[in-house]
A and B are shown apart, each in its own frame.
Chain A
Amino acid sequence: MTQEIKVNEAVEVSNSTDVVLRLAGESGEGVVSLGDLTVQMLVQMGLDIYTFQTFPAEIKGGTVMYQIRATESTTLSHGDAVDVFVALNRDGFSLFGDSLRENGILVYDSDVFTPDSDAGRTEYALPISTLALNEKQAVRSRVSPEQLKRLPPPKNIVGLGALLRLVNAPLEPAEQYVKDLFARKGDAIVEMNISALHSGARHISEQIESTGKRAPKVTPRFDMPKRLTLNGNQMLAMGAISAGCRFYSGYPITPATEIMEFLAKELPRFGGSAVQAEDEISALGMCLGSSYAGVKTMTASSGPGISLMVEMINLAGQSELPVVIVDVQRGGASTGMPTKTSQGDLNLALYGVHNESPRIVIAPTSVTDCFWTAVDAFNLAEAYQCPVILLSDQALATRKSTIEHPDLTQLEIIERLKPEAEDILKNGYLRFLDTPSGISPMSIPGMPGAQYVNTGIEHDEAGDPGYTPELATVSKEKRFRKLETCRIEQGSKFVRYFVGRDEAMIESIQDTDVGVIAFGSTEGVIREASQRAINEGFSVAHMHVRLLNPLPIAQIEQFASKCKTVLIPELNFSGQFANWLRVNTEIEFETHHKDEGLPFIPNEIYQKITSLAVS
């Protein structure tokens, strides 16, 4: 009984909401819809959401897991231990149950299985199918036989009612939601669902009364202004449209397809088009053609597709064509683990090329940042006339987050440098004019007198082929000079510093014990972990790098010089970012890298930080 008291104490100590829910079960059996419903309810209660989903690769079958963390302030990660685990089948629990906190609560579908008992945790049986079927039976006289046949028992709503009661949340927002959702299906269906909601809640209430154990309380905040709830893929697609992307071509691949689905629907409304290509080579080929013709363009894929695009990326680098290539990284080599996450394509993004041609590599750090990084990607591609590879990942792409509407007045759009008609008339036109910045005015078809051949062959300023040693040297230096220009102009804009959760100025970071340098989707989890360490008296700072090539070397070395120990955590097998830092900088550091298909959790980074601080 001592554990029971601990749980209750925890609830009382914590005034603000911070609860981690995890749902697992057979794919296609309602886990995702129950998760989505729960997210909607929590959002309506004014809470901040951060989800993590992991799917089986099968179309139907296999185990799907949906984790939701709801907090009162900004949620930075999907959390550590799970407070409430909802297991819709035995496999779901055995695969994903180990993260349930020792004194956590397990709700299981008692129509499907009974878990082996465990002394520490509290178990609530919820016969979801039976309860849902009862609700359906109750309205059978009020609907037509036809409708009855097609009416699914309201299992998700029963589950939702149980979950809400378990976290001591009010049912009213859910009632209203159910009314709106089923209004067009008639009173009987609305009433069935409301009754189902209460049935799930009641079933849990009865058990809570006997055990006295409840999960951390969810406190609604109804005064919240409206916010956006969406995932990284959606936010990235919206960033692309906002940046002026008007042509997209891609080939379906997990977990990037959603970007194309979004753009195929939205682009025509903005005067643009999307085309599904026959393969990734063709997809990027169409994009290069479109960019050459003067239209901003993007493709998105994942590792296997990016591998196919490598030759085209090189062509874009060599012939100085702006284009944005999104790599939503997934787990494993070759086919690997398509539905899992990784940061394993950094090497591919940096080095995936025969010989050498310039490209820019950037990585978004959060769902909000997916928007701004997409905008940045287009601006950098246009400004420096080269391919920009944007490294997202599965966890970020499918992560639902509540975020503020991006401030569109901050939207700054850069267009490529174009030749002036007068200049062409007076001086003729050289497409690859050697300039101090390396950037040459780029004509587009239709401009009189500015014709040129865009080519991957080594070429002179006019674009005419040439193989002399002098030309080979001068041309390559010219193209790579753009990256140096980019490093100087952009380096400081693409790094962020944090002390704990909060963004900080570099000047405020002094004599720090542990400095964390990382990239990509790990920003939130590192902020949360370092805040925890700081709360316990450790000295920690954090630098997140959004521009990976050209690397902001000066900024990285400056930050590292203020830290006794530097930690480089990343989600890949060999420590690709650490190796990239070894190539480019003089700094020394400790590494933490692994490639299991799952994102970091705060505790893991916290442990690493604190072990380095004391050693």
Chain B
Amino acid sequence: MAQAAEIVQVFQPKDYKSDLKPIWCAGCGDFGVLNALYKAMAACNLDPNNTVVVSGIGCSSRLPGFVSTYGFHGVHGRALPIATGIKLARPELNVIVVGGDGDGYSIGAGHLPHCARRNPDITYLIMNNNVYGLTKGQVSPTSTIPLISLQSKQDPKRWKTTPYGSTEDPIDPIVQAIAHDISFVARGFSYKPNQLADLLTQGIRHKGFALIDAFSPCPTFNQDQTDEFYKERTYDVPLDHDPTNKLKAFELALSDEGFPIGLIYKKERKVSVQDELAFLRESAVPQSLDQMFAHFMS
């Protein structure tokens, strides 16, 4: 008995499936993303008991219900603060954040640069379908048909809340992420699930804040940015790309040749908030309640 080796349980992708069936439409890109996530969690051998999947609100944010880990389905746009709180309270937990482009780049956009500044060791997976799906077809911050001007008389994309065309330019999530200095920035595509699983695996293993923006087409409300659209316009990040070179990362992200899929930017040795706070706690001189009161006695 004394010699018994510690048994390391090995998890399979199916171990992360919950009993709930996804509520997504047939043909939704999120199915591919979910399967990639199961694979990545298995590749990292995450213990479901020690893993929390956090989300906001939207079609993709229902994902925590479809995994067997702990989950936190919060309010719209606030997944990052909640996930940060979990990680800071319990640094030993694996924390994965999931959500859509509206959740992350519109209502929750204000949290992104600050999460980048803190660089908590969490992984943020955005299922980007360039449309608001749960509310049935409104313009999103990444709705990508560029508009020159309503006055140009071009035929602009007409979303339900912008029946005469959107007057706002889309956000480029990858360029923005590099600018925020997020320490791991990658782009995936739900129709390249193995590659996406690999990127998620790298992101989970990355020590710091990792953002993976995955194109995840909406077959119901977006007839423009379809799986075909992205299949034609995506290409693998060139093998000689150096993701640690920020200027090259910008160059790749800004290229108009289509959408590079893969790891685009990575910053090693960036300070991470949960480590800094742990250092503060460990280096502080412990104090009793009485000692705290003593400062105010006279």
Contacts and interface: CB of A to CB of B under 8 A. Distances in A.
Interface in B98-113: 110-111, 113
A247 B91 CA distance: 13
Nearest to A281: B78
A448 B49 contact: yes
Given A286-B84, A446-B49, A453-B65, A279 B110 contact: yes
A447 B286 CA distance: 29
Interface stretch (A214-222, A263-271, A380-388, A525-533): A263-271
Given A288-B82, A455-B73, A456-B74, A278 B88 contact: no
B289 A242 contact: yes
B137 interface: no
A285 B78 CA distance: 7
A230 interface: yes
A332 B279 CA distance: 42
B71 A247 contact: no
A289 B89 contact: yes
Contacts of A295: 89-90
A445 B280 contact: no
A286 B49 contact: no
B296 A290 contact: no
B228 to A, nearest CB: 33
Interface residues of B, number: 51
Contacts of A448: 49
A446 B49 CA distance: 5
A483 interface: no
B50 interface: yes
Contact of A268 (B81, B110, B280): B280
Contacts of A408: 289-290
A40 B88 contact: no
A260 to B, nearest CB: 15
A448 B93 CA distance: 13
A456 B65 contact: no
Contacts of A292: 52, 72, 82, 85-86
B286 A312 contact: no
Interface string A273-304: 10101110111111111111111010000000
A315 interface: yes
Interface string B247-271: 0000000000000000000000000
Contacts of A405: 293, 297
Nearest to B284: A268
A262 to B, nearest CB: 10
A271 B83 contact: no
Contacts of A446: 49-50, 90, 92-93
B60 interface: no
B297 A241 contact: no
Contact of B82 (A289, A406, A453): A289
Interface string B26-48: 00000000000000000000001
B8 interface: no
Contacts of B86: 289-290, 292-293, 445
Contact of B298 (A44, A271, A291, A315): A44
B85 A290 contact: yes
B180 interface: no
A552 B110 CA distance: 41
B81 A286 contact: yes
Nearest to A445: B70
Contacts of A484: none
Given A289-B89, A446-B50, 11 more contacts: A44-B298, A229-B296, A241-B292, A281-B81, A285-B78, A288-B82, A289-B88, A452-B70, A453-B71, A454-B74, A464-B20
21 contacts: A227-B297, A238-B292, A277-B81, A281-B81, A282-B110, A285-B81, A286-B81, A287-B85, A288-B74, A293-B85, A297-B85, A311-B75, A445-B49, A445-B86, A446-B90, A447-B49, A449-B49, A453-B71, A454-B74, A455-B73, A464-B20
Interface of B: 20, 48-52, 54, 64-65, 68-75, 78, 80-90, 92-93, 110-111, 113-114, 118, 273, 277, 280-281, 284-287, 289-290, 292-293, 296-298
Interface of A: 40, 43-44, 226-230, 234, 238, 241-242, 246-247, 249, 266, 268-273, 275, 277-279, 281-295, 297, 311-312, 315, 405-406, 408, 445-449, 451-457, 464-465
